[in-house]
Amino acid sequence: MFLGITNTPRDYAWGSRTAIPELLGRTVTGQPQAELWLGAHPGSPSVVVNPAMVGGADTLADWIREEPDAALGGGAEGLPFLLKVLAAAAPLSLQAHPTPEQARDGFAREEAAGIPVDAGERNYKDPYPKPELVVALSERFEALSGFRPVDEALADIVRIDGGTGRTAPLADRLRDQGLEETVRWLVTADDDARSLVRVLGELATAVEDPTPNTATVVDLAASYPDDPGVAVALLVHRVSLARGEALYLPAGNIHAYLEGLGIELMAPSDNVLRGGLTPKHVDVPELLHVLDFTPGPPPLLTPEPVAPGVDRFAPAGVGFALVRVSSAGATAGLGAGGVVPLGGPSIAICTEGAVTLVGARSATMLRRGESCYVTPDEGTVTVETDAAGGGAATVFIATPA
C-alpha cells in the first residue's frame, strides 16, 4: 500500500520562513517553519491524508498501533527511523548524541532518579541512540561537524589574535592540554572563559582575510556574545555542503546546523546533549562523557551508486538508509529503471517534479512536496518519471537497512 501522509511543520524560532512552504507548494505565512516530520514519532506523528484507507486512523502512529502487522509487517516492533525536511535560517544548538550503551545507561539512571521525561534538565528521553544523516536540498547547506586537528584550530586563533596576545589563554590551553580539556574549560564557562568569548567576537571582526571558521565566529558572536559555543566553533570543522552532498553524524560527533534546507534521516530518538548556542540546559559532565574528541576530516557521506539516477546513503550499523532517485542522474530519464529494494516499511517524499511509484501490489503518483508511507508488502518500488516531458524529478525514500 502507498498511503499518503503529511504534517504541519514545527515552528522553532531558528526555522526559515520560506524554504519549507516553497518546497511543499504551500502559502508562506511569515512564521518560521523549521522541520517537517514524516514518521510515527509521538512528538509529531504524520497525518494520514485518506483515513478511510486505514480504518479511519488519523495519524500514522495510530494506524501502526492499531494494525501493526499490516503497517509494519510481521515481527517488526516499530518504525526504525524518522524522516525530516529541515530548514534552518539561524544556527541550531551545538550538540552531540549518545552511543546505544550511553543512551540505555543514561535513560535508566534518570528514570531511577525520578526526573520527569519532560523536565528541562532531562538528557535522556528514551533508551535509544540518535545517529543521523542530512542531504542538502539548497544550493548550500552550512554546518559545524566534528573536531578538527589542533594545528588547524591554532592557526585560526592566531589569525584572530592579530598579534595582540589577547587570545593566549585559549591558544596555550589548546596547545598544552588538548581538545578535551579546552572544551571542558570553555563549556564550564567561568568568567575567564566568557571574557575570552567576547574577545574572540571583537577581534574576529577585524580579520582581513577570514577563513570559514573565523567568519563563523563573527556570525555566532553577533547572536551569542557570551556563549562558549562561539569559541568551541573554532575547534570544529565548518562544512559547506553543495546541493546533493551529505553529512553523517555518528554518536559523539559535535555538530550544529547553521543554515540551509535539507533532508534529514535519523533514529526516532530525542536524546540530545547540548554544548552551546542555546538557552536550553547544558549538562557539562554528561556532554563531555558523550563527546568523541578524536580529530579528523569532516564526516562527509558518499552515497553508493545503485543504478543510473539511483544513489543510496547508508552508514554502516545504523539500521536505515536513504535512497535518492533522480532523473537528472539518468542518461535518458528513469523510465522504469529506478528500482529501489525496500528493507521494510518505508517513507517517500518527492522534492522535485513528479514521479510514479510502482510496487508489487499498487502504485501512486507523488508531486513536489507530497509524501507517502509504503508498506513492506510492496517489496520493491520502481520509480518512473516522464523523460519525454523534459522536467527533472527527484524522490527520496527512507527504508530500513
Whole-number pLDDT of residue 194: 87
Q: How far is CA 177 from CA 124, 174, 182, in A?
A: 30, 6, 7
Give the mean model confidence (pLDDT) for residues 52-73: 96
| Pair 302, 254: CB distance under 8 Å | no
Q: Is the pLDDT of residue 311 over 70?
A: yes
Q: State yes or no: pLDDT of 330 exceeds 70.
A: no
Catalytic residues: 274
In the block, residue with C-alpha cell 571574557: 195
| Nearest alpha carbon to residue 326 among 241, 371, 384 | 384
pLDDT tens digits for range 347-362? 999 999 999 999 999 9
Q: What is the pLDDT at residue 329?
A: 56
**211-239: average pLDDT:** 96
Q: With a cut of 50, say whether residue 367 has pLDDT above it.
A: yes
Task: List 37's β-bridge partners, or say none.
Answer: 84
Residue type, 213: N
| Residue 336 confidence (pLDDT) | 47
Among candidate residues 340, 319, 343, 341, the one with its CA nearest the CA of residue 394: 340
Confidence of residue 250 (pLDDT cuts 50, 70, 90): very high
> 32-41, 70-79, 155-164, 297-306 — which is least confidently predicted?
70-79
As a whole number, mean pLDDT of residues 383-399 equals 80
Q: Does 32 have pLDDT greater than 70?
A: yes
- pTM to 2 decimal places: 0.95
Band (pLDDT 50/70/90 cuts) for residue 332 is: very low
190: confidence class by pLDDT, cuts 50, 70, 90 = confident
